[in-house]
Structure 1
Amino acid sequence: METYRCLVVEDSESTALLIKQYLTELTLYSEVSIASTYTQAARMMLHQPFDLIFLDVELNGTNSLDLLNTNRRLPPVVVMSAHNQYAVDCYDMDVADFLPKPFTKSRFLRGINRAMGIAIDKESVTVNESIFLKVGRRLNKFSFDSIDYVEAYGIYSKIHSNDKIVVVNEPIMVLEKRLPNRYFRRVHKSFIVNLNHISSYSQNTFYIDEMKIPIGISYRDDLPNIFNMLG
Structure 2
Amino acid sequence: MKMTAIAIDDEPVALSVIQAHAEKVPFMELKGVYTNAFDAVDVLRREKIDLLFLDIKMPDISGLEFLASLQEPPMTIFTTAYSEHAVQSFELDAIDYLLKPFSLARFLKSCNKAHNLLLLRQERPQPDYIFIKSGYDQCKVALADVLYLESAGNYVNFVLTDRKVISRLSMQEAMDLMPAQQFTRVHRSYIVNNLRVDRIDRNNVYLGKSVVPIGAAYGEAVARISGEEK
- Bigger share in strand: 1
Q: Name the TM-score, length of structure 2 as normaliser.
A: 0.47
Higher relative contact order (CA 8 A, sep 6+): 2
Q: Name the TM-score, length of structure 1 as normaliser.
A: 0.47
Larger radius of gyration: 1
